[in-house]
Amino acid sequence: MLEKKTRIRIVGHVLERGFIFKLSEAIKDIDVEVMHVDVSFAALKAGIEEKMPSVMKFYLVGTDENRRSALKKIEEISKETECTIDSISEKVD
C-alpha cells in the first residue's frame, strides 16, 4: 500500500519557542503521525539566545483529511510562535 505524506519545513526559533511541544499537543486527537523529524541549528548558543533560527523538517503521515486538519494546526502554531512554514510538498511512497 502506498503511504501518502506531506513534507514540511519550518524555519524559526523552533526549540526556543516550544514549536515541537505545541505541535505534539495540537495533533494528539488527529489520526496523523509526525515522522522523520530533523531539527538543526547552526550554533547552540546562538540558537538558544534566538540570534540564529533553527530548521525543523518532518513528514506528516495520514489520510488526506487528517493531514489537512493537522496542517491547519501547524499554521496556527506557526503564527503563534512566529516560525515560518518554509515549504510544504506532497509525496507518495
We report the CATH number of the domain holding residue 47 as 3.30.70.260
Using alpha carbons, select from 63, 56, 65, 48 the residue that is nearest to residue 23: 56
Report pTM: 0.86
pLDDT band at 67 (very low <50, low <70, confident <90, very high): very high
Answer whether residue 93 shows pLDDT above 80: no
Domain span at 39: 4-92
Answer whether residue 2 shows pLDDT above 70: no
Q: At 82, give phi and psi (nearest 5°).
A: 60, 35
- The number of domains in the chain is 1
> Quick one: which H or E segment has residue 82?
none
Taking only the tens place, the pLDDT of each residue in 35-64 is 999 999 877 776 667 778 889 999 999 999
- In angstroms, the CA 27 to CA 68 distance is 11
Q: At 89, give phi and psi (nearest 5°).
A: -145, 145
